[in-house]
């Protein structure tokens, strides 16, 4: 009986039950068993496993010590939750008066209060074990006779007082870094010192550095790394060239965005006598210059990837390597690692080789220049571009037919003035020239992964893969309900979900709800990550996939180059063990997610900065989210998102209907549904809180 009851409550940790409810749930039928059940419940309450509230029992989630440690997450600067390891406890609620001297993200000790029915356990922070940040970025302000730093991050809800002797040359309005923070009493504000003046608030450099600090992105290279990079010679030794495939006499060119500074991939194509094509995908050979465990290598490993903020790049490698020696600039010999693929006109992979090479790019193209050649049918190397484009279209059709999903994820581009202020925001247009490059990069990534994961001979060797797990069933069901509310069909029970996704994406293309459907479809998916365990890539429909094509900006690709060279040529004395690759994969996956968050934050900040000069203007928008407190809308032109507060929706009293994804007027029955197109007016811009408020125009 005792085992049955303990098992029952462990399966229902957050609920309260009366004796008879428990008896019914665990199939107690006789009087004798029922008396035994009551006796056991009493004993378990005495032992502390259960807690009794009136006639109801629930599992006792309070530990014997009455205190736990965890990480504090502040919500809107008012209250917080402490996430602890013990899953029985759930998140511990901490009211604003009980936060003590803890900041958002701190590791803290929490004293727990008595368990409350149906609510989170509540507690009080009694000790800060470890600060999440030793330095905080903000703007220096002055009030009467004292100075203070107002943190950029609203979750750091207290201003930091600065003594006038600790300003470090900063003046009011400067973006600064406050350090040496001391906070002993919650009755007083924390105190600190200015340790670095970033620049005038609103300048591009200040914004980039503050974002880097906020997301803990190292934005400076050490003196050792700079010196190591400066010592790298641009001269290529003759014996190095003799070892490699020599493509310097062939037509090879790069195709990149107009504002690209580093070029890490180039293409070539030749028609063979048998009617097939030899396509060369040539990737910068960064591994030739970045030696294992060198200062540059350790820094690149720590950074994990380059981060592309609006108007600035925080590079993984020093500029001499990323923009010069490793970059495939035109008319200069460059060392590369190439996948040479023989493809039939129908896109069938006939054969391939993976070999180190040397190229001399004949031309640096932008996507727009290549698109102009495709559209006009004339221009430099038209024949090669035409063949590559035709073959890329064939590969793409084949890929989509075999289960690849082509999500439409619109991005915004910014035009900035000399001070980094956005003067224009517009949606980036994906053209055939973009897809041309993408298809051959996908092909090279697929070939290199399969070469290791499914070798023609020998055993599978340790490697890093780019993997994408199957979607979560619950999220897919929710997504299916939503698209049904818009009038589309999506059967979450079918095995061929990837084909359904692609069909749906094609159906919504060009409609007002296209952006929203694509966004929610992506959210329903698992996140692609790096892993030493190959489970395939669901979104692309590939059994084997890795990242090989961008070693200047991704550490994963640099590792892949090293491993391929070792396994194919036994050419380097590098020996990554499987546990090492698992650790590297975990680290660079975290770095990637952090970089994506920083990049999104940068885009949002620039969108808001642009819109502050458009207060009072009207926009076409899409309802992108609905809650009990209002409607989130996304502007079509620049994809900026803001809130229409419930109190600002006039004409009726609106109630949130979760099942219909709608706000519904009680009297008029008028609905505002997720995915609806609306006309809105911008009424408030808060730069410090990164908030936009709109009203709906009838």
309-325 confidence digits (pLDDT tens): 999 999 999 999 999 99
- Supply the mean pLDDT for the chain: 91
Out of 3.40.50.10320, 3.90.550.10, 2.40.50.140, 3.30.565.10, the CATH code matching 615-696 is: 2.40.50.140
Give residues with Cβ within 8 angstroms of 291, minimum separation 6: 297
pLDDT value at residue 582: 97
Query: Taking 60 as the threshold, does the pLDDT of residue 173 lie above it?
Result: yes
If you average pLDDT over residues 328-332, what whole number do you get? 97
Cβ neighbours around 62 below 10 Å, total: 18
Angle in degrees, CA 636, 259, 283, rounded to 5: 115
Q: List alpha helices for 215-294, DSSP H.
A: 223-230, 238-243
Give residues with Cβ within 8 angstroms of 32, minimum separation 6: none
Contact by Cβ (8 Å): 627, 619? no
For tokens 């007002």, what's the residue? 512
* CATH architecture of residue range(s) 2-59: Orthogonal Bundle (1.10)
Mean pLDDT lowest for which of 84-88, 408-412, 470-474?
A: 84-88
Query: Taking 60 as the threshold, does the pLDDT of residue 118 lie above it?
Result: no
Quote the percentage of the chain above a pLDDT of 70: 96
For tokens 């330095």, what's the residue? 135
- Domains 2-59 and 615-696 belong to one CATH topology: no
Taking CA atoms, 332 is separated from 200, 231, 239, 367, in Å, by 40, 19, 18, 21
DSSP 574-609: ----HHHHHHHHHHHHHHHHHHHHHHHHHHHHHHHH
pLDDT value at residue 165: 94
What fold does the segment set 136-201 form as a domain? OB fold (Dihydrolipoamide Acetyltransferase, E2P) (2.40.50)
Contact by Cβ (8 Å): 139, 115? no
Q: How confident is the model at residue 484 (pLDDT cuts 50, 70, 90)?
A: confident
Query: Taking 90 as the threshold, does the pLDDT of residue 675 lie above it?
Result: no
Out of 2.40.50.140, 3.40.50.150, 1.10.760.10, 3.30.1380.10, the CATH code matching 67-130 is: 2.40.50.140
Q: How confident is the model at residue 77 (pLDDT cuts 50, 70, 90)?
A: low
pLDDT value at residue 116: 53
Nearest to 310 by CA among 215, 416, 206: 416
Gap between the Cα atoms of 11 and 3, Å rounded: 12
Torsion angle, alpha carbons of 152, 153, 156, 159, to 10: 10
Torsion angle, alpha carbons of 491, 494, 495, 500, to 10: -30
Query: Taking 90 as the threshold, does the pLDDT of residue 468 lie above it?
Result: yes
Q: How confident is the model at residue 212 (pLDDT cuts 50, 70, 90)?
A: very high
Quote the percentage of the chain above a pLDDT of 90: 64
Query: Taking 90 as the threshold, does the pLDDT of residue 265 lie above it?
Result: yes
Give residues with Cβ within 8 angstroms of 681, minimum separation 6: 616, 617, 618, 619, 694, 695, 697
Q: Which token pair is 285?
A: 């050979």
Domain range list for the chain: 2-59, 67-130, 136-201, 223-402+427-432, 452-603, 615-696
Q: How confident is the model at residue 572 (pLDDT cuts 50, 70, 90)?
A: low
Gap between the Cα atoms of 351 and 343, Å rounded: 7
Per-residue DSSP letter, 542 = B
pLDDT value at residue 497: 62
Contact by Cβ (8 Å): 129, 136? no
Tens digits of residue pLDDT in 640-654: 999 999 999 988 999
Query: Taking 70 as the threshold, does the pLDDT of residue 532 lie above it?
Result: yes
Gap between the Cα atoms of 108 and 478, Å rounded: 36
Contact by Cβ (8 Å): 492, 473? yes
For tokens 């546990």, what's the residue? 579
pLDDT value at residue 475: 85
Contact by Cβ (8 Å): 366, 263? no
Gap between the Cα atoms of 172 and 176, Å rounded: 10
For tokens 């458009």, what's the residue? 614
Look at 27 and 573; give whichever has higher pLDDT: 27
Per-residue DSSP letter, 165 = G
Query: Taking 70 as the threshold, does the pLDDT of residue 359 lie above it?
Result: yes
């Amino acid at each position: 009986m005792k085992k049955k009851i303990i098992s029952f409550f462990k399966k229902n940790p957050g609920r309260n039950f009366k004796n008879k409810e428990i008896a019914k749930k665990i199939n107690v039928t006789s009087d004798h068993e029922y008396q035994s059940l009551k006796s056991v419940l009493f004993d378990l309450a005495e032992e502390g496993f259960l807690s009794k509230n009136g006639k109801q029992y629930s599992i006792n989630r309070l530990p014997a010590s009455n205190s736990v440690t965890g990480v504090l997450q502040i919500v809107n600067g008012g209250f917080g939750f402490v996430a602890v390891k013990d899953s029985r406890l759930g998140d511990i609620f901490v009211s604003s008066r009980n936060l003590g001297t803890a900041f958002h993200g701190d590791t803290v000790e929490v004293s727990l209060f008595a368990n409350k029915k149906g609510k989170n356990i509540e507690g009080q922070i009694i000790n800060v074990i470890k600060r999440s940040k030793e330095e905080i970025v903000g703007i220096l302000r002055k009030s009467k006779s004292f100075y203070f730093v107002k943190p950029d991050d609203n979750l750091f809800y207290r201003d930091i007082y600065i003594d006038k002797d600790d300003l470090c040359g900063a003046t009011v309005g400067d973006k600064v870094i406050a350090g040496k923070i001391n906070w002993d009493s919650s009755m007083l504000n924390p105190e600190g010192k200015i340790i670095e003046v970033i620049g005038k608030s609103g300048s591009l450099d200040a914004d980039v550095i503050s974002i880097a600090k906020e997301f803990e992105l190292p934005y400076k290279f050490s003196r050792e790394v700079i010196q190591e990079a400066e010592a790298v010679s641009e001269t290529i030794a003759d014996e190095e060239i003799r070892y490699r495939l020599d493509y310097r006499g062939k037509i090879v060119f790069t195709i990149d965005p107009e504002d690209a500074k580093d070029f890490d991939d180039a293409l070539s194509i030749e028609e063979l006598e048998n009617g097939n094509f030899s396509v060369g995908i040539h990737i910068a050979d960064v591994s030739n210059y970045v030696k294992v465990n060198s200062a540059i290598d350790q820094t690149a490993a720590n950074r994990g990837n380059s981060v592309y903020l609006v108007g600035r790049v925080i590079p993984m490698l020093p500029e001499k390597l990323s923009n010069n020696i490793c970059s495939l600039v035109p008319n200069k010999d460059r060392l590369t690692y190439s996948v040479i693929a023989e493809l039939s006109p129908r896109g069938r992979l006939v054969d391939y080789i993976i070999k180190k090479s040397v190229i001399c790019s004949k031309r640096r193209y932008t996507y727009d220049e290549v698109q102009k050649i495709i559209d006009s049918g004339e221009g430099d190397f038209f024949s090669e571009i035409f063949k590559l484009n035709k073959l890329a279209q064939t590969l793409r059709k084949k890929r989509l037919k075999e289960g690849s999903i082509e999500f439409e994820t619109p991005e915004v581009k910014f035009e900035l003035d000399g001070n980094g202020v956005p003067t224009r925001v517009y949606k980036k247009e994906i053209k055939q020239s973009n897809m041309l490059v993408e298809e051959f990069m996908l092909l090279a990534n697929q070939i290199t992964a399969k070469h290791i994961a499914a070798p023609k001979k020998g055993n599978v060797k340790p490697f890093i893969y780019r993997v994408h797990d199957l979607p979560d069933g619950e999220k897919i069901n929710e997504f299916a309900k939503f698209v049904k509310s818009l009038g589309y069909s999506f059967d979450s029970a079918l095995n061929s979900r990837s084909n359904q996704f692609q069909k749906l994406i094609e159906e919504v293309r060009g409609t007002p709800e296209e952006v929203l459907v694509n966004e929610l479809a992506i959210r329903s998916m698992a996140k692609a990550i790096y892993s030493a365990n190959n489970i395939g890539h669901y979104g692309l429909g590939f059994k084997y996939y890795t990242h090989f094509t961008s070693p200047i900006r991704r550490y994963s690709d640099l590792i892949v180059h090293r491993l391929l060279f070792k396994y194919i040529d036994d050419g380097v004395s590098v020996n990554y063990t499987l546990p090492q690759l698992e650790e590297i994969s975990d680290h660079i996956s975290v770095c990637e997610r952090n970089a994506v968050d920083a990049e999104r934050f940068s885009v949002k900040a620039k969108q808001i900065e642009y819109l502050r000069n458009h207060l009072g203007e009207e926009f076409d928008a899409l309802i992108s989210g609905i809650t009990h407190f209002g409607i989130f809308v996304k502007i079509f032109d620049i994809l900026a998102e803001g809130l229409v507060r419930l109190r600002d929706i006039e004409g009726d009293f609106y109630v949130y209907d979760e099942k219909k994804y709608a706000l519904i007027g009680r009297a008029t029955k008028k609905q505002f549904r997720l995915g609806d197109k609306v006309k809105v007016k911008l009424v408030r811009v808060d730069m410090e809180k990164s908030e936009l408020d709109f009203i709906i125009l009838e």
